Structure 1
Amino acid sequence: MRTETRKPASDGKPRRKFLKGCLGAAGTAVAGGAIGTLSTPAAARDTHHRPPEALGLLYDATLCIGCKACVAACKQANDNPPEFSTVDKLWDTPLDTSGHTFNIIKMYRHGTMTTKDAESNGYAFMKTSCMHCADPSCVSACPVTAMTKDPVTGVVAYDPDACVGCRYCVVACPFGIPKYQYDSPTGKIGKCELCRHRVADGHFSACAEVCPTGATLHGRTRDLLIEAKRRLALPAGSLTRYPRGSIDGGPEQGYEGHVGNYQQHVYGEHEYGGTQVLKLSAVPFEKVGMPNLPPESSAATSETIQHTLYGGLLMPFAVLGAMTYVAKRNVHHDQEEDDDGGGDPNSPAATTGPGREWS
Structure 2
Amino acid sequence: MHSKIPDSRTDADSRRQFLKGCVSVAGAAVAVATVSPQVEARDTYQRPPGALGLLYDGTLCIGCKACVAACKRVNDNPPEFSTVDKLWDTPLDTSGYTFNIIKMYRSGTMATKDDEVNGYAFMKTSCMHCADPSCVSACPVTAMTKDPETGIVAYDAEACVGCRYCVVACPFGIPKYQYDSPTGKIGKCELCRHRTKDGHYSACAEVCPTGATLYGRTSDLLREAKRRLALEPGSVTTYPRGNLSGGPDQSYEGYVGRYKQHVYGETEYGGTQVLKLSAVDFEKVGMPYLSPKSSASTSETIQHTLYGGLLMPFAVLGAMTYVAKRNVHHEDDAPADENDKEES
Q: Normalising to structure 1: TM-score of the pair?
A: 0.89
Q: Is the alpha carbon distance of 1:33 and 1:203 closer, same or farther for their aligned partners in structure 2, counting shifts above 3 Å?
A: same
What residue is the counterpart of 1:253 in the other structure?
A: 250
Whether 2:123 is the aligned partner of 1:126: answer yes
What residue is the counterpart of 1:334 in the other structure?
A: 330
| Pairing partner for 2:232 from 227, 232, 235 | 235
* Contact 2:217/2:245, CA 8 A, preserved across alignment: no
Determine which structure has more spread, i.e. the larger CA radius of gyration: 1
| Deviation string, structure 1 residues 155-208 (Cα, Å, up to 9, x no partner) | 011111222222111111111111111111222111111111111111110100
| Pairing partner for 1:58 from 49, 55, 60 | 55
Deviation at 1:319, TM superposition (A): 1.0
Whether 2:20 is the aligned partner of 1:16: answer no
* CA distance in 2 between partners of 1:82 and 1:7 (Å): 68
Percent identity reads 75
Aligned partner of residue 162 in structure 2, secondary structure: coil
Deviation at 1:17, TM superposition (A): 5.5
What residue is the counterpart of 2:173 in the other structure?
A: 176
* Contact 1:7/1:342, CA 8 A, preserved across alignment: no
Match of 2:29, as an amino acid?
Answer: V
* Contact 1:47/1:273, CA 8 A, preserved across alignment: yes
Deviation at 1:91, TM superposition (A): 0.5
| Pairing partner for 2:145 from 141, 144, 148 | 148
Deviation at 1:8, TM superposition (A): 7.8
Whether 2:322 is the aligned partner of 1:325: answer yes
| Deviation string, structure 1 residues 129-159 (Cα, Å, up to 9, x no partner) | 0000111111111122111111100001111
Deviation at 1:337, TM superposition (A): 2.8
What residue is the counterpart of 2:111 in the other structure?
A: 114
* CA distance in 1 between partners of 2:281 and 2:16 (Å): 60
Deviation at 1:25, TM superposition (A): 3.2
* CA distance in 1 between partners of 2:339 and 2:292 (Å): 62
What residue is the counterpart of 1:136 in the other structure?
A: 133
Q: Is the alpha carbon distance of 1:19 and 1:230 closer, same or farther for their aligned partners in structure 2, counting shifts above 3 Å?
A: same
Deviation at 1:262, TM superposition (A): 1.1
* CA distance in 1 between partners of 2:23 and 2:91 (Å): 54
* CA distance in 2 between partners of 1:41 and 1:344 (Å): 56
| Pairing partner for 2:217 from 217, 220, 231 | 220
| Deviation string, structure 1 residues 39-81 (Cα, Å, up to 9, x no partner) | x321001111100000000001111110000001111111111
* CA distance in 2 between partners of 1:132 and 1:120 (Å): 32
Aligned partner of residue 276 in structure 2, secondary structure: strand
Match of 2:212, as an amino acid?
Answer: A
| Pairing partner for 1:44 from 41, 53, 59 | 41
Q: Which residues of structure 2 form unaligned runs of 5+?
A: none
| Deviation string, structure 1 residues 101-126 (Cα, Å, up to 9, x no partner) | 11000011111111111122111110
* CA distance in 2 between partners of 1:247 and 1:294 (Å): 28
Cα-Cα RMSD: 2.2
Q: Normalising to structure 2: TM-score of the pair?
A: 0.92
Whether 2:24 is the aligned partner of 1:28: answer no
Match of 1:316, as an amino acid?
Answer: P
Aligned length: 341
What residue is the counterpart of 1:189 in the other structure?
A: 186
Q: Is the alpha carbon distance of 1:336 and 1:22 closer, same or farther for their aligned partners in structure 2, counting shifts above 3 Å?
A: farther
* CA distance in 1 between partners of 2:126 and 2:82 (Å): 19
Q: Which residues of structure 1 form unaligned runs of 5+?
A: none
* CA distance in 2 between partners of 1:238 and 1:164 (Å): 53
| Pairing partner for 1:271 from 268, 271, 276 | 268
* CA distance in 2 between partners of 1:8 and 1:127 (Å): 66
Aligned partner of residue 57 in structure 1, secondary structure: strand
| Deviation string, structure 1 residues 262-306 (Cα, Å, up to 9, x no partner) | 111111111111100001111111111111111111111111111
My pick for the range that moved more, 195-204 or 28-37, is: 28-37
Q: Is the alpha carbon distance of 1:188 and 1:250 closer, same or farther for their aligned partners in structure 2, counting shifts above 3 Å?
A: closer
* Contact 1:272/1:296, CA 8 A, preserved across alignment: yes
What residue is the counterpart of 1:283 in the other structure?
A: 280
* CA distance in 1 between partners of 2:321 and 2:45 (Å): 41
Aligned partner of residue 253 in structure 1, secondary structure: coil
Q: Is the alpha carbon distance of 1:53 and 1:340 closer, same or farther for their aligned partners in structure 2, counting shifts above 3 Å?
A: same
Match of 1:15, as an amino acid?
Answer: S
Spell out structure 1 runs of 4+ moving beyond 4 A: 6-10, 338-341
What residue is the counterpart of 2:302 in the other structure?
A: 305
Q: Is the alpha carbon distance of 1:335 and 1:35 closer, same or farther for their aligned partners in structure 2, counting shifts above 3 Å?
A: farther
